[in-house]
Amino acid sequence: MRRRGARAAWRYALAVIAHLALVTAWLLLVKVGHVPRFVLPSPLDTAAALATAATTGGQHRHHATDLRRLFPGRAVGWRWPAVQLSALLNRSCALLCH
């Protein structure tokens, strides 16, 4: 039982270390590599923008827009008659167009 807990702790530690290494490499790439902010913003700028969006409600507005665009398209795309009509039109064009 102890071995399983130790293995889980080790895997958790590796995940944390990997994420910290990734963020550190990102920060070094931006600072040392002189990458423009509009191409790759620093992790600190990204965290500040996320915090601002979370406190001002900006993210909610963007999510609402995404959902308004997503659901009608999915409703049309998942309909069985639309799939059948598409297959029929595809076959008829293959027969008539060639």
Residue 96 is encoded by which pair of tokens? 């008539």
Write down how long the chain is: 98
- The predicted pLDDT at position 45 comes to 92
The span from the CA of 6 to the CA of 16, in Å, is 15
Domain residue ranges of the chain, discontinuous segments joined by +: 1-56, 57-98
Average pLDDT over residues 72-92: 66
Please tell me the pTM assigned to this model.
Answer: 0.53
User: Which stretches does DSSP call E strand in 1-98?
Assistant: none
CA distances from residue 28 to 20, 21, 24, 54 in whole angstroms, order as listed: 12, 10, 6, 26
Helix (H) or strand (E) holding 89: helix 80-97
- Between residues 88 and 36, which one has the greater pLDDT? 36
Reported as a pLDDT band with limits 50, 70 and 90, residue 11 is very high
- The predicted pLDDT at position 27 comes to 92
Reported as a pLDDT band with limits 50, 70 and 90, residue 79 is low
- Between residues 9 and 93, which one has the greater pLDDT? 9
